[in-house]
Structure 1
């Protein structure tokens, strides 16, 4: 049975609201949660971008059962990998073993604030080296190394959980799938692409969890849902190769100026009929994903969405199986 997750979308709500939302998500029965980690929103209309790790720490204390996960953190530019290892170990302790560390090669939107944005092949090399450093620190003891991208001088984690946080790696092609298959405990992707799953399996990921993500826009007024999805999420369909390169919300505004509300509605389930969401999640299940994190578009709509999800959506999603 597919596990259904709740997304704390830091680009569309403030920190206190995000914690309130995940507490509610736990109460209504979501299986897990994930948290985006941004310096900027995708579009100005989203309007937020608090520090995800403070939100995660607060969520760890405010909840008791729902698993938490960074979705995803880039451990190469804004954060040194040794600092990411310390943050993740601390979150695992605070949450009493409920944290998973999702990692990715990042987006220009968030990482340019600390320096020049490197090309894709360099970013994958940086991520590989960062994952090696993080895993070494999770093993305990002192870690020193001078790599191509990072220097670590006698680093050590003094507060380590009994079980290190599982590591997930976000994938978009063969190189990232190879890295995830060899070094990660789970795969992360935002498209129901069976080729990614099979590439991950060939690289050593067979039998490991695969976590996808799906945006939706619940509203009893479907036209209002379509408008909100267009205002806040029309960037979603451009693909990760484009999304990773644009440097600013205004860049996304320009790149999506010709995207119509109907275009968004054809890609994102909108309204209050669970059928569209169920069909979209089924595509992930059929591609081999074991977990799907749902994103409700609109920071101020979470309460109504969660009540609807508990009553109408989650019961239907629980019945999904692969075809």
Structure 2
């Protein structure tokens, strides 16, 4: 059994990463699937060749097709999206702008910033208007349903929806009582 699945402490110096003194305290009985996250066609193709699945935060059918063509046929495609459920849409936009502006950083900026201070500085590039346009905020059921359906239309197998902000219970209640039943129709 590889040392990473024994519960022993492991260090690794590889071509792409280094790990010092890692330990998996609850070792799985079988190998865990490796899902590869990607934001462009090259990453999707690589995920199809080497991964057990593909993860993307954009409901892009072309990325899913590139993944499937490159060896991902029959493998899982998982999406993730952040929303802010609230009875007050303007308040929800403010919450997202305050707590999660990094969601809208341009290009690869979020992948290369080295420290939290750099993220704070770069977040100043994100305007409230950008948040209002890009993130599903408020309590309009059809907007939330459409946000999730976009992933289904693009060929995703699973979609994980995360609430930005403190109203977690209200979010779960709304999705259980309103959004999921609407998606099933």
TM-score by length of 1: 0.49
For 2:160, which of 277, 293, 297 is the aligned residue? 293
- 1:184 is displaced (CA, Å) by 1.6
Partner of 1:282: 149
The answer as to whether partners of 2:85 and 2:92 remain within 8 angstroms in 1 is: yes
Following TM superposition, by how much is the alpha carbon of 1:312 offset from its aligned partner in structure 2, in angstroms? 1.1
Aligned residues: 175
The separation in 2 between residues aligned to 1:314 and 1:261, in whole angstroms, is 28
The answer for unaligned runs of 5 or more in structure 1 is: 1-81, 91-144
Structure 2 equivalent of residue 195 of structure 1: 62
Shift of 1:250: 2.5
Shift in CA distance, 284/240, structure 1 to aligned 2, threshold 3 Å: farther
Pick from 173, 176, 180 the counterpart of residue 310 of structure 1. Answer: 176
Distance 1:163 1:289, change over 3 A: same
Does 2:131 match 1:264? yes
Conserved in 2, the CA contact under 8 Å of 1:189 and 1:213? yes
Deviation at residue 148 of structure 1 after TM alignment: 3.7
Instruction: Give 1:180 shift.
Output: 1.4
Q: Map of 1:68-217 to 2, 5 A cutoff?
A: 85-86=4-5, 148=15, 161-217=28-84
The CA deviation at 1:161 is: 4.2
Match of 1:40 in 2: none
The corresponding residue for 1:65 is none
Contact 1:172–1:240 (CA<8 Å) still a contact in 2? Answer: no
Deviations 1:45-91 (A, max 9, x none): xxxxxxxxxxxxxxxxxxxxxxxxxxxxxxxxxxxxx88x44xx87x
| TM superposition outliers: structure 1 runs of 4+ over 6 Å | none
Structure 1 counterpart SS, 2:63? helix
TM-score for both structures, normalised by structure 2? 0.81
